[in-house]
Amino acid sequence: MTAALAASLSSQGHSFLSPTGVEIVFVLVGLAVLGAAVLTVSTSQLVHAALWLVVALGGLAIEYLLLTAEFIAWVQVLIYLGSVVVLVLFGLMLTRAPIGRSPDADSGNRWVALGLAVVAAGTLVTLVVDAFRCTWMDLPASGSTSVNGSTQANGEVLFRYWVLPFEALSVLLLAALVGAIVLSRRHREEG
Amino acid sequence: MTTALEALLRCVAVLVVFLTFPLVIGQTEHKVMAHMQGRLGPMYAGGFHGWAQLVADGVKFAQKEDIVPAGADRRIFQLAPAVALLPYLLVLIAIPVGPGGFVGQALDAGLFFVLAVMGIGVLGSLMAGWASANKFSLLGGVRSAAQLLAYELPMLLAAASVAMAAGTVSLTGILGAFHWWWVPWQIVGGFVFFTSGLAELQRPPFDMPVADSEIIFGAYTEYTGLRFALFLLSEYAGILVLCALTAVLFLGGWHGPLSADLGWLWTLLKTFALAFVVIWLRVTYPRLREDQLMRFAWTFLIPLALAQLALTGIVKVVIS
Protein backbone atom coordinates (compact mmCIF):
# COMPACT_ATOMS: atom_id res chain seq x y z
CA MET A 1 0.00 0.00 0.00
CA THR A 2 2.75 2.43 0.94
CA ALA A 3 4.65 1.52 -2.21
CA ALA A 4 1.61 2.37 -4.30
CA LEU A 5 1.22 5.64 -2.43
CA ALA A 6 4.88 6.49 -2.97
CA ALA A 7 4.56 5.66 -6.64
CA SER A 8 1.52 7.89 -6.95
CA LEU A 9 3.28 10.72 -5.14
CA SER A 10 6.40 10.39 -7.24
CA SER A 11 4.47 10.69 -10.51
CA GLN A 12 3.60 14.35 -10.17
CA GLY A 13 3.23 14.93 -13.89
CA HIS A 14 -0.58 15.01 -13.67
CA SER A 15 -2.47 18.14 -14.42
CA PHE A 16 -6.05 19.15 -15.12
CA LEU A 17 -4.85 21.59 -17.76
CA SER A 18 -4.08 18.92 -20.35
CA PRO A 19 -6.92 16.44 -19.91
CA THR A 20 -6.73 13.00 -21.47
CA GLY A 21 -9.47 11.65 -23.73
CA VAL A 22 -10.91 9.57 -20.91
CA GLU A 23 -11.23 12.62 -18.68
CA ILE A 24 -13.03 14.60 -21.39
CA VAL A 25 -15.47 11.72 -21.98
CA PHE A 26 -15.96 11.41 -18.22
CA VAL A 27 -16.98 15.07 -17.93
CA LEU A 28 -19.26 14.88 -20.98
CA VAL A 29 -21.05 11.77 -19.70
CA GLY A 30 -21.29 13.43 -16.30
CA LEU A 31 -23.04 16.44 -17.85
CA ALA A 32 -25.47 14.10 -19.63
CA VAL A 33 -26.20 12.31 -16.34
CA LEU A 34 -26.78 15.64 -14.61
CA GLY A 35 -29.15 16.77 -17.36
CA ALA A 36 -31.11 13.52 -17.25
CA ALA A 37 -31.31 13.70 -13.46
CA VAL A 38 -32.66 17.26 -13.57
CA LEU A 39 -35.23 16.22 -16.16
CA THR A 40 -36.21 13.26 -13.95
CA VAL A 41 -37.31 15.53 -11.14
CA SER A 42 -38.61 18.43 -13.25
CA THR A 43 -40.75 16.71 -15.90
CA SER A 44 -44.44 16.57 -15.10
CA GLN A 45 -45.02 13.33 -17.04
CA LEU A 46 -44.65 10.47 -14.60
CA VAL A 47 -43.46 7.75 -16.96
CA HIS A 48 -41.06 10.13 -18.67
CA ALA A 49 -39.50 10.77 -15.28
CA ALA A 50 -38.90 7.03 -14.85
CA LEU A 51 -37.39 6.80 -18.33
CA TRP A 52 -35.09 9.78 -17.70
CA LEU A 53 -34.03 7.92 -14.57
CA VAL A 54 -32.98 5.07 -16.88
CA VAL A 55 -30.75 7.49 -18.80
CA ALA A 56 -29.23 8.91 -15.62
CA LEU A 57 -28.51 5.51 -14.06
CA GLY A 58 -27.17 4.11 -17.33
CA GLY A 59 -24.85 7.13 -17.63
CA LEU A 60 -23.57 6.40 -14.12
CA ALA A 61 -22.75 2.85 -15.26
CA ILE A 62 -20.67 4.35 -18.09
CA GLU A 63 -18.86 6.55 -15.55
CA TYR A 64 -17.98 3.47 -13.51
CA LEU A 65 -16.65 1.83 -16.67
CA LEU A 66 -14.46 4.85 -17.39
CA LEU A 67 -13.05 4.50 -13.87
CA THR A 68 -12.22 0.82 -14.70
CA ALA A 69 -14.77 -0.43 -12.14
CA GLU A 70 -16.19 -2.94 -14.59
CA PHE A 71 -17.89 -5.19 -12.05
CA ILE A 72 -19.66 -2.30 -10.31
CA ALA A 73 -20.78 -0.97 -13.69
CA TRP A 74 -22.53 -4.22 -14.67
CA VAL A 75 -24.05 -4.58 -11.22
CA GLN A 76 -25.39 -1.04 -11.61
CA VAL A 77 -27.02 -2.03 -14.92
CA LEU A 78 -28.36 -5.29 -13.52
CA ILE A 79 -29.85 -3.90 -10.30
CA TYR A 80 -30.88 -0.37 -11.20
CA LEU A 81 -31.79 -0.56 -14.89
CA GLY A 82 -32.94 -4.17 -14.97
CA SER A 83 -34.83 -4.33 -11.69
CA VAL A 84 -35.42 -1.06 -9.86
CA VAL A 85 -36.62 0.94 -12.85
CA VAL A 86 -38.70 -1.99 -14.11
CA LEU A 87 -40.26 -2.17 -10.65
CA VAL A 88 -40.96 1.58 -10.70
CA LEU A 89 -42.57 1.36 -14.13
CA PHE A 90 -44.54 -1.70 -13.02
CA GLY A 91 -45.87 0.22 -10.02
CA LEU A 92 -46.73 3.25 -12.18
CA MET A 93 -48.63 1.11 -14.67
CA LEU A 94 -50.55 -0.69 -11.93
CA THR A 95 -51.67 2.54 -10.28
CA ARG A 96 -51.90 5.42 -12.74
CA ALA A 97 -49.72 6.45 -15.61
CA PRO A 98 -51.61 8.84 -17.84
CA ILE A 99 -50.12 9.84 -21.17
CA GLY A 100 -49.40 13.55 -21.12
CA ARG A 101 -48.92 15.93 -18.22
CA SER A 102 -50.10 15.30 -14.69
CA PRO A 103 -50.77 18.76 -13.23
CA ASP A 104 -50.85 17.36 -9.68
CA ALA A 105 -47.31 16.00 -10.10
CA ASP A 106 -46.00 19.45 -9.21
CA SER A 107 -45.07 19.93 -5.61
CA GLY A 108 -45.51 23.20 -3.77
CA ASN A 109 -42.22 22.58 -2.03
CA ARG A 110 -40.11 22.87 -5.17
CA TRP A 111 -38.01 25.82 -3.92
CA VAL A 112 -37.34 24.16 -0.56
CA ALA A 113 -36.42 20.97 -2.42
CA LEU A 114 -34.10 22.88 -4.73
CA GLY A 115 -32.40 24.55 -1.77
CA LEU A 116 -31.94 21.22 0.02
CA ALA A 117 -30.57 19.59 -3.12
CA VAL A 118 -28.03 22.38 -3.64
CA VAL A 119 -26.92 22.21 0.01
CA ALA A 120 -26.57 18.42 -0.09
CA ALA A 121 -24.67 18.51 -3.39
CA GLY A 122 -22.41 21.27 -2.06
CA THR A 123 -21.61 19.27 1.06
CA LEU A 124 -20.83 16.10 -0.88
CA VAL A 125 -18.70 17.85 -3.49
CA THR A 126 -16.74 19.75 -0.82
CA LEU A 127 -16.20 16.55 1.14
CA VAL A 128 -14.99 14.51 -1.83
CA VAL A 129 -12.78 17.28 -3.21
CA ASP A 130 -11.27 17.89 0.22
CA ALA A 131 -10.66 14.20 0.88
CA PHE A 132 -9.05 13.29 -2.44
CA ARG A 133 -7.61 16.66 -3.42
CA CYS A 134 -4.44 15.58 -5.26
CA THR A 135 -4.58 11.80 -5.01
CA TRP A 136 -3.74 9.99 -8.22
CA MET A 137 -4.13 6.28 -8.59
CA ASP A 138 -1.95 4.51 -11.13
CA LEU A 139 -3.90 1.86 -12.95
CA PRO A 140 -2.04 -1.36 -13.83
CA ALA A 141 -2.03 -2.23 -17.50
CA SER A 142 -5.29 -3.75 -18.62
CA GLY A 143 -5.08 -7.50 -18.90
CA SER A 144 -3.34 -8.12 -15.59
CA THR A 145 -5.66 -9.68 -13.03
CA SER A 146 -5.11 -7.17 -10.23
CA VAL A 147 -6.80 -4.21 -11.96
CA ASN A 148 -8.56 -2.02 -9.42
CA GLY A 149 -12.27 -2.64 -9.73
CA SER A 150 -11.95 -6.03 -11.42
CA THR A 151 -14.20 -8.80 -10.16
CA GLN A 152 -11.31 -10.51 -8.43
CA ALA A 153 -10.14 -7.37 -6.61
CA ASN A 154 -13.71 -6.61 -5.51
CA GLY A 155 -14.31 -10.16 -4.31
CA GLU A 156 -11.10 -10.24 -2.30
CA VAL A 157 -11.81 -6.94 -0.56
CA LEU A 158 -15.49 -7.75 0.03
CA PHE A 159 -15.00 -11.21 1.51
CA ARG A 160 -11.77 -10.55 3.36
CA TYR A 161 -12.04 -7.09 4.95
CA TRP A 162 -15.73 -6.31 4.70
CA VAL A 163 -17.27 -9.72 5.29
CA LEU A 164 -18.99 -8.75 8.58
CA PRO A 165 -20.88 -5.72 7.14
CA PHE A 166 -21.71 -7.87 4.14
CA GLU A 167 -23.30 -10.55 6.29
CA ALA A 168 -25.08 -7.95 8.44
CA LEU A 169 -26.55 -6.43 5.28
CA SER A 170 -27.82 -9.81 4.11
CA VAL A 171 -29.58 -10.30 7.45
CA LEU A 172 -31.14 -6.84 7.05
CA LEU A 173 -32.39 -7.72 3.57
CA LEU A 174 -33.79 -11.02 4.82
CA ALA A 175 -35.65 -9.16 7.56
CA ALA A 176 -37.07 -6.76 4.96
CA LEU A 177 -38.18 -9.71 2.83
CA VAL A 178 -39.91 -11.44 5.72
CA GLY A 179 -41.49 -8.13 6.73
CA ALA A 180 -42.89 -7.61 3.25
CA ILE A 181 -44.41 -11.10 3.26
CA VAL A 182 -45.97 -10.54 6.69
CA LEU A 183 -47.45 -7.18 5.64
CA SER A 184 -48.97 -8.57 2.45
CA ARG A 185 -50.46 -11.60 4.24
CA ARG A 186 -52.18 -9.53 6.93
CA HIS A 187 -53.62 -7.30 4.25
CA ARG A 188 -55.13 -10.25 2.41
CA GLU A 189 -56.81 -11.71 5.53
CA GLU A 190 -58.50 -8.38 6.30
CA GLY A 191 -59.72 -7.91 2.76
CA MET B 1 -3.66 1.22 -35.49
CA THR B 2 -3.86 -2.53 -35.91
CA THR B 3 -5.75 -2.89 -32.64
CA ALA B 4 -8.30 -0.31 -33.74
CA LEU B 5 -8.67 -2.10 -37.07
CA GLU B 6 -9.06 -5.43 -35.30
CA ALA B 7 -11.69 -4.02 -32.94
CA LEU B 8 -13.57 -2.62 -35.93
CA LEU B 9 -13.41 -5.97 -37.72
CA ARG B 10 -14.72 -7.77 -34.64
CA CYS B 11 -17.60 -5.31 -34.30
CA VAL B 12 -18.49 -5.76 -37.98
CA ALA B 13 -18.38 -9.55 -37.56
CA VAL B 14 -20.72 -9.36 -34.54
CA LEU B 15 -23.04 -7.07 -36.50
CA VAL B 16 -23.15 -9.51 -39.42
CA VAL B 17 -23.97 -12.39 -37.06
CA PHE B 18 -26.64 -10.23 -35.44
CA LEU B 19 -28.21 -9.42 -38.80
CA THR B 20 -28.19 -12.94 -40.25
CA PHE B 21 -28.54 -15.56 -37.50
CA PRO B 22 -31.89 -14.37 -36.09
CA LEU B 23 -33.27 -14.52 -39.64
CA VAL B 24 -31.96 -18.08 -39.99
CA ILE B 25 -33.73 -18.97 -36.74
CA GLY B 26 -36.91 -17.29 -37.97
CA GLN B 27 -36.80 -19.20 -41.25
CA THR B 28 -36.14 -22.44 -39.35
CA GLU B 29 -39.14 -21.73 -37.17
CA HIS B 30 -41.36 -21.35 -40.24
CA LYS B 31 -40.20 -24.66 -41.67
CA VAL B 32 -40.21 -26.65 -38.42
CA MET B 33 -43.67 -25.41 -37.48
CA ALA B 34 -44.91 -26.16 -40.97
CA HIS B 35 -43.66 -29.74 -40.73
CA MET B 36 -44.82 -30.36 -37.17
CA GLN B 37 -48.29 -28.89 -37.57
CA GLY B 38 -48.89 -29.70 -41.25
CA ARG B 39 -49.12 -26.00 -42.23
CA LEU B 40 -49.13 -25.46 -45.97
CA GLY B 41 -48.68 -21.68 -46.19
CA PRO B 42 -44.96 -21.36 -45.35
CA MET B 43 -44.14 -24.18 -47.81
CA TYR B 44 -45.52 -22.42 -50.87
CA ALA B 45 -43.64 -19.18 -51.66
CA GLY B 46 -40.80 -19.55 -54.17
CA GLY B 47 -41.32 -23.17 -55.06
CA PHE B 48 -38.79 -25.52 -53.41
CA HIS B 49 -39.74 -25.92 -49.76
CA GLY B 50 -41.05 -22.34 -49.65
CA TRP B 51 -37.54 -20.86 -49.53
CA ALA B 52 -38.78 -17.35 -50.40
CA GLN B 53 -41.19 -17.07 -47.45
CA LEU B 54 -38.72 -14.98 -45.45
CA VAL B 55 -38.11 -12.60 -48.36
CA ALA B 56 -41.84 -12.24 -48.87
CA ASP B 57 -42.30 -11.47 -45.17
CA GLY B 58 -39.58 -8.84 -45.32
CA VAL B 59 -41.13 -7.16 -48.37
CA LYS B 60 -44.54 -7.24 -46.68
CA PHE B 61 -43.27 -5.57 -43.50
CA ALA B 62 -41.36 -2.91 -45.45
CA GLN B 63 -44.43 -2.02 -47.51
CA LYS B 64 -46.83 -1.58 -44.61
CA GLU B 65 -47.55 1.93 -43.39
CA ASP B 66 -45.84 2.94 -40.16
CA ILE B 67 -48.75 4.04 -37.98
CA VAL B 68 -48.56 5.81 -34.64
CA PRO B 69 -51.93 5.89 -32.81
CA ALA B 70 -53.40 9.37 -32.27
CA GLY B 71 -53.45 9.13 -28.46
CA ALA B 72 -50.01 7.57 -28.17
CA ASP B 73 -46.91 9.08 -26.65
CA ARG B 74 -45.21 9.51 -30.00
CA ARG B 75 -41.53 9.59 -29.17
CA ILE B 76 -41.55 6.72 -26.70
CA PHE B 77 -43.76 4.66 -29.00
CA GLN B 78 -41.20 5.04 -31.78
CA LEU B 79 -38.19 4.47 -29.55
CA ALA B 80 -39.44 1.24 -27.97
CA PRO B 81 -38.45 -1.24 -30.76
CA ALA B 82 -34.85 -0.01 -30.67
CA VAL B 83 -34.71 -0.41 -26.88
CA ALA B 84 -36.04 -3.95 -27.25
CA LEU B 85 -33.59 -4.93 -29.99
CA LEU B 86 -30.24 -3.27 -29.19
CA PRO B 87 -29.44 -5.06 -25.90
CA TYR B 88 -29.18 -8.37 -27.74
CA LEU B 89 -26.66 -6.85 -30.17
CA LEU B 90 -24.55 -5.72 -27.21
CA VAL B 91 -24.78 -9.14 -25.55
CA LEU B 92 -23.52 -10.92 -28.68
CA ILE B 93 -20.22 -9.05 -28.37
CA ALA B 94 -19.33 -10.90 -25.17
CA ILE B 95 -20.28 -14.47 -26.11
CA PRO B 96 -17.23 -16.63 -26.88
CA VAL B 97 -17.54 -18.77 -30.02
CA GLY B 98 -14.24 -20.62 -30.22
CA PRO B 99 -10.95 -21.11 -28.31
CA GLY B 100 -8.05 -18.66 -28.65
CA GLY B 101 -9.84 -15.31 -28.57
CA PHE B 102 -12.68 -16.19 -30.97
CA VAL B 103 -14.99 -13.69 -29.25
CA GLY B 104 -16.11 -10.12 -29.97
CA GLN B 105 -14.60 -8.77 -26.75
CA ALA B 106 -13.61 -10.91 -23.76
CA LEU B 107 -14.92 -9.16 -20.64
CA ASP B 108 -13.67 -9.62 -17.10
CA ALA B 109 -17.23 -9.81 -15.75
CA GLY B 110 -18.77 -11.23 -18.93
CA LEU B 111 -21.49 -13.25 -17.20
CA PHE B 112 -22.70 -10.18 -15.31
CA PHE B 113 -22.57 -8.07 -18.45
CA VAL B 114 -24.64 -10.55 -20.43
CA LEU B 115 -27.34 -11.00 -17.78
CA ALA B 116 -27.49 -7.29 -16.97
CA VAL B 117 -27.86 -6.14 -20.55
CA MET B 118 -30.38 -8.87 -21.40
CA GLY B 119 -32.59 -7.53 -18.61
CA ILE B 120 -32.79 -4.11 -20.31
CA GLY B 121 -34.69 -5.54 -23.29
CA VAL B 122 -37.88 -5.74 -21.27
CA LEU B 123 -37.85 -1.94 -20.95
CA GLY B 124 -38.73 -1.94 -24.65
CA SER B 125 -41.87 -4.00 -24.01
CA LEU B 126 -42.80 -1.78 -21.08
CA MET B 127 -42.33 1.41 -23.12
CA ALA B 128 -44.33 -0.05 -26.01
CA GLY B 129 -47.11 -1.22 -23.70
CA TRP B 130 -47.46 2.10 -21.95
CA ALA B 131 -46.98 4.45 -24.90
CA SER B 132 -49.57 2.76 -27.12
CA ALA B 133 -52.47 4.26 -25.12
CA ASN B 134 -54.34 0.98 -25.39
CA LYS B 135 -55.55 -1.11 -22.47
CA PHE B 136 -54.54 -4.39 -24.07
CA SER B 137 -51.05 -3.04 -24.65
CA LEU B 138 -50.86 -1.82 -21.07
CA LEU B 139 -51.97 -5.23 -19.76
CA GLY B 140 -49.33 -6.85 -21.93
CA GLY B 141 -46.68 -4.50 -20.57
CA VAL B 142 -47.66 -5.18 -16.96
CA ARG B 143 -47.59 -8.92 -17.61
CA SER B 144 -44.12 -8.64 -19.20
CA ALA B 145 -42.81 -6.78 -16.17
CA ALA B 146 -44.28 -9.25 -13.67
CA GLN B 147 -42.91 -12.16 -15.66
CA LEU B 148 -39.45 -10.63 -15.91
CA LEU B 149 -39.29 -9.89 -12.18
CA ALA B 150 -40.36 -13.46 -11.37
CA TYR B 151 -37.97 -15.23 -13.73
CA GLU B 152 -34.89 -13.01 -13.36
CA LEU B 153 -34.11 -14.52 -9.96
CA PRO B 154 -33.92 -18.24 -10.91
CA MET B 155 -31.93 -17.28 -14.01
CA LEU B 156 -29.36 -15.39 -11.96
CA LEU B 157 -29.15 -18.17 -9.37
CA ALA B 158 -28.58 -20.81 -12.06
CA ALA B 159 -25.90 -18.67 -13.68
CA ALA B 160 -24.30 -18.09 -10.26
CA SER B 161 -24.02 -21.86 -9.85
CA VAL B 162 -21.86 -22.13 -12.98
CA ALA B 163 -19.78 -19.14 -11.92
CA MET B 164 -19.21 -20.85 -8.56
CA ALA B 165 -18.18 -24.09 -10.23
CA ALA B 166 -15.68 -22.33 -12.49
CA GLY B 167 -14.48 -19.83 -9.89
CA THR B 168 -14.81 -16.94 -12.36
CA VAL B 169 -17.49 -14.77 -13.94
CA SER B 170 -15.64 -14.37 -17.22
CA LEU B 171 -17.36 -16.35 -19.98
CA THR B 172 -14.07 -17.39 -21.57
CA GLY B 173 -12.75 -18.29 -18.11
CA ILE B 174 -15.80 -20.49 -17.46
CA LEU B 175 -15.20 -22.34 -20.73
CA GLY B 176 -11.51 -22.67 -19.91
CA ALA B 177 -12.36 -24.42 -16.65
CA PHE B 178 -14.96 -26.71 -18.21
CA HIS B 179 -14.80 -30.53 -17.85
CA TRP B 180 -17.22 -32.99 -19.39
CA TRP B 181 -18.67 -34.03 -16.01
CA TRP B 182 -19.96 -30.48 -15.51
CA VAL B 183 -22.87 -31.34 -17.80
CA PRO B 184 -24.48 -33.89 -15.43
CA TRP B 185 -23.35 -31.84 -12.40
CA GLN B 186 -25.03 -28.61 -13.62
CA ILE B 187 -27.92 -30.15 -15.56
CA VAL B 188 -30.60 -28.90 -13.14
CA GLY B 189 -29.15 -25.40 -13.30
CA GLY B 190 -29.13 -25.63 -17.08
CA PHE B 191 -32.81 -26.58 -17.09
CA VAL B 192 -33.67 -23.66 -14.79
CA PHE B 193 -31.59 -21.21 -16.84
CA PHE B 194 -33.06 -22.28 -20.16
CA THR B 195 -36.64 -22.29 -18.88
CA SER B 196 -36.45 -18.90 -17.23
CA GLY B 197 -34.71 -17.56 -20.31
CA LEU B 198 -37.67 -18.73 -22.38
CA ALA B 199 -39.99 -16.96 -19.97
CA GLU B 200 -37.91 -13.79 -20.17
CA LEU B 201 -38.19 -13.87 -23.97
CA GLN B 202 -41.95 -14.45 -23.67
CA ARG B 203 -41.74 -17.53 -25.84
CA PRO B 204 -44.46 -20.18 -25.65
CA PRO B 205 -45.38 -21.81 -23.30
CA PHE B 206 -44.60 -18.60 -21.35
CA ASP B 207 -46.22 -16.15 -23.77
CA MET B 208 -48.90 -14.73 -21.48
CA PRO B 209 -47.79 -11.12 -22.24
CA VAL B 210 -48.70 -11.57 -25.92
CA ALA B 211 -51.56 -14.07 -25.48
CA ASP B 212 -53.48 -13.41 -28.70
CA SER B 213 -56.71 -15.00 -27.48
CA GLU B 214 -56.87 -12.65 -24.47
CA ILE B 215 -55.08 -9.37 -25.09
CA ILE B 216 -54.64 -9.39 -28.91
CA PHE B 217 -50.85 -9.08 -29.07
CA GLY B 218 -49.95 -7.51 -25.74
CA ALA B 219 -47.54 -4.62 -25.84
CA TYR B 220 -47.09 -4.91 -29.62
CA THR B 221 -50.79 -4.61 -30.55
CA GLU B 222 -50.53 -1.14 -32.05
CA TYR B 223 -47.34 -1.69 -34.01
CA THR B 224 -47.23 -2.13 -37.77
CA GLY B 225 -44.68 -2.41 -40.53
CA LEU B 226 -40.98 -2.23 -39.82
CA ARG B 227 -41.30 -1.39 -36.13
CA PHE B 228 -43.36 -4.54 -35.61
CA ALA B 229 -40.74 -6.47 -37.60
CA LEU B 230 -38.07 -5.10 -35.25
CA PHE B 231 -39.96 -6.54 -32.26
CA LEU B 232 -40.17 -9.92 -34.02
CA LEU B 233 -36.47 -9.69 -34.83
CA SER B 234 -35.66 -8.94 -31.21
CA GLU B 235 -37.50 -12.13 -30.23
CA TYR B 236 -35.37 -14.20 -32.61
CA ALA B 237 -32.19 -12.39 -31.55
CA GLY B 238 -33.20 -13.23 -27.98
CA ILE B 239 -33.52 -16.91 -28.89
CA LEU B 240 -30.04 -16.79 -30.44
CA VAL B 241 -28.55 -15.14 -27.35
CA LEU B 242 -30.30 -17.45 -24.89
CA CYS B 243 -29.31 -20.61 -26.77
CA ALA B 244 -25.71 -19.48 -27.21
CA LEU B 245 -25.50 -18.62 -23.51
CA THR B 246 -26.99 -21.93 -22.42
CA ALA B 247 -24.56 -23.74 -24.73
CA VAL B 248 -21.61 -21.78 -23.32
CA LEU B 249 -22.56 -22.03 -19.65
CA PHE B 250 -24.02 -25.52 -19.39
CA LEU B 251 -23.06 -27.54 -22.48
CA GLY B 252 -19.39 -26.62 -22.71
CA GLY B 253 -19.50 -24.22 -25.66
CA TRP B 254 -16.61 -25.01 -28.00
CA HIS B 255 -15.59 -28.23 -26.17
CA GLY B 256 -15.96 -31.41 -28.18
CA PRO B 257 -13.88 -33.66 -30.45
CA LEU B 258 -11.33 -31.65 -32.49
CA SER B 259 -12.20 -28.55 -30.48
CA ALA B 260 -8.87 -26.89 -31.28
CA ASP B 261 -9.82 -26.53 -34.95
CA LEU B 262 -13.58 -26.91 -35.00
CA GLY B 263 -14.51 -25.25 -31.69
CA TRP B 264 -16.68 -22.60 -33.36
CA LEU B 265 -18.60 -25.35 -35.15
CA TRP B 266 -19.41 -27.04 -31.84
CA THR B 267 -20.72 -23.76 -30.40
CA LEU B 268 -22.89 -23.22 -33.46
CA LEU B 269 -24.19 -26.80 -33.45
CA LYS B 270 -25.13 -26.65 -29.77
CA THR B 271 -26.74 -23.23 -30.20
CA PHE B 272 -28.88 -24.28 -33.12
CA ALA B 273 -29.83 -27.59 -31.48
CA LEU B 274 -31.15 -25.56 -28.53
CA ALA B 275 -32.90 -23.16 -30.90
CA PHE B 276 -34.63 -26.16 -32.42
CA VAL B 277 -35.79 -27.18 -28.93
CA VAL B 278 -37.19 -23.65 -28.43
CA ILE B 279 -39.23 -23.95 -31.63
CA TRP B 280 -40.26 -27.51 -30.77
CA LEU B 281 -41.59 -26.33 -27.39
CA ARG B 282 -43.58 -23.61 -29.11
CA VAL B 283 -45.49 -26.00 -31.35
CA THR B 284 -46.10 -28.69 -28.74
CA TYR B 285 -46.94 -27.01 -25.43
CA PRO B 286 -50.10 -25.03 -24.59
CA ARG B 287 -49.78 -21.63 -22.95
CA LEU B 288 -49.55 -21.43 -19.17
CA ARG B 289 -52.16 -19.39 -17.29
CA GLU B 290 -50.92 -16.26 -15.50
CA ASP B 291 -51.19 -17.72 -11.98
CA GLN B 292 -49.63 -21.02 -13.09
CA LEU B 293 -46.82 -19.03 -14.63
CA MET B 294 -46.05 -17.19 -11.39
CA ARG B 295 -46.40 -20.31 -9.25
CA PHE B 296 -44.04 -22.21 -11.55
CA ALA B 297 -41.36 -19.56 -11.08
CA TRP B 298 -41.63 -18.99 -7.34
CA THR B 299 -42.42 -22.49 -6.04
CA PHE B 300 -40.61 -24.69 -8.56
CA LEU B 301 -37.76 -22.97 -10.39
CA ILE B 302 -36.34 -20.93 -7.49
CA PRO B 303 -36.13 -23.89 -5.07
CA LEU B 304 -34.57 -25.97 -7.86
CA ALA B 305 -32.02 -23.24 -8.52
CA LEU B 306 -31.21 -22.97 -4.80
CA ALA B 307 -30.79 -26.74 -4.58
CA GLN B 308 -28.42 -26.64 -7.56
CA LEU B 309 -26.47 -23.85 -5.88
CA ALA B 310 -26.15 -25.91 -2.69
CA LEU B 311 -25.07 -28.99 -4.68
CA THR B 312 -22.47 -26.94 -6.55
CA GLY B 313 -21.12 -25.57 -3.28
CA ILE B 314 -20.88 -29.02 -1.66
CA VAL B 315 -19.15 -30.63 -4.65
CA LYS B 316 -16.81 -27.66 -4.96
CA VAL B 317 -15.78 -27.92 -1.31
CA VAL B 318 -15.33 -31.72 -1.55
CA ILE B 319 -13.12 -31.66 -4.66
CA SER B 320 -10.99 -28.69 -3.71
> What domain range is B143 assigned to?
65-319
**How many CA atoms does the CB half-sphere of B261 hold within 13 Å?**
2
Q: Tell me, what's the pLDDT at B77?
A: 85
Reported ipTM: the value is: 0.78
pTM for this model (two decimals): 0.82
Q: Tell me, what's the pLDDT at A108?
A: 75
Of chain A, the percentage scoring pLDDT greater than 90 comes to 17
First to last CA, chain B: 44
Most B-contacting residue of A60, A78, A184 (CB-CB within 10 A), to test interface: A78
Considering the domain boundaries, does residue B38 fall inside one? no
A51·B127 Cβ contact <8 A: yes
Q: Which residues of A touch B116 (CB under 8 A)?
A: 74-75, 77-78, 81-82
Considering the domain boundaries, does residue B196 fall inside one? yes
Question: Residue type at B42?
Answer: P
Considering the domain boundaries, does residue B223 fall inside one? yes
Nearest-neighbour CA in chain B from A64: distance (Å): 13
A77·B116 Cβ contact <8 A: yes
User: For A43-101, what is each residue's pLDDT tens digit?
Assistant: 878 888 888 898 999 999 998 888 878 888 888 888 888 888 888 888 887 777 777 67
Q: Which residues of B touch A74 (CB under 8 A)?
A: 109, 112-113, 116
Q: Tell me, what's the pLDDT at A25?
A: 85
| pLDDT > 50? residue A6 | no
Considering the domain boundaries, does residue B289 fall inside one? yes
**Mean pLDDT over each residue of chain A, to the nearest integer:** 79
Considering the domain boundaries, does residue B46 fall inside one? no
B115·A89 Cβ contact <8 A: no
Higher per-residue confidence, A117 vs B216 = A117
Q: Which residues of A touch B72 (CB under 8 A)?
A: 99
Q: Which residues of A touch B71 (CB under 8 A)?
A: 99
User: For A11-45, what is each residue's pLDDT tens digit?
Assistant: 445 566 667 777 888 888 889 999 998 888 888 78
Q: Tell me, what's the pLDDT at A191?
A: 46
By C-alpha distance, which of A78, A73, A61, A150 is closest to B173? A150
User: For B58-111, what is each residue's pLDDT tens digit?
Assistant: 888 888 887 778 877 788 888 888 888 888 888 888 888 877 767 767 777 788
Considering the domain boundaries, does residue B51 fall inside one? no
> Could you tell me which chain A residue has the CA closest to the CA of B75?
A48
Q: Which of A75, A93, A99 lies closest to B141 in CB terms?
A: A93
Q: Which of A74, A89, A99 lies closest to B133 in CB terms?
A: A99
Q: Which residues of B touch A82 (CB under 8 A)?
A: 116, 119-120, 122, 152
Residue A162 DSSP one-character state: S
Q: Which of A71, A74, A90 lies closest to B146 in CB terms?
A: A90
> What domain range is A51 assigned to?
15-101
Q: Who contacts B25 (Cβ-Cβ below 8 Å, separation ≥6)?
A: B236, B239, B240, B272, B275, B279
Considering the domain boundaries, does residue B42 fall inside one? no
| pLDDT > 80? residue B15 | yes
User: For B219-244, what is each residue's pLDDT tens digit?
Assistant: 788 787 788 888 888 888 889 989 98
Per the structure, the count of domains in chain A is 1
Considering the domain boundaries, does residue A49 fall inside one? yes
By C-alpha distance, which of B30, B18, B37, B27 is closest to B284? B37
User: For B140-191, what is each residue's pLDDT tens digit?
Assistant: 888 888 888 888 889 889 998 888 888 888 888 888 888 888 888 888 888 9
Q: What is the mean pLDDT of residues B291-310?
A: 87
Per the structure, the count of domains in chain B is 1
Q: Which CATH number is A92's domain given?
A: 1.20.120.1200
B126·A99 Cβ contact <8 A: no
Considering the domain boundaries, does residue A123 fall inside one? no
In angstroms, the CA B317 to CA B312 distance is 9
Considering the domain boundaries, does residue B34 fall inside one? no
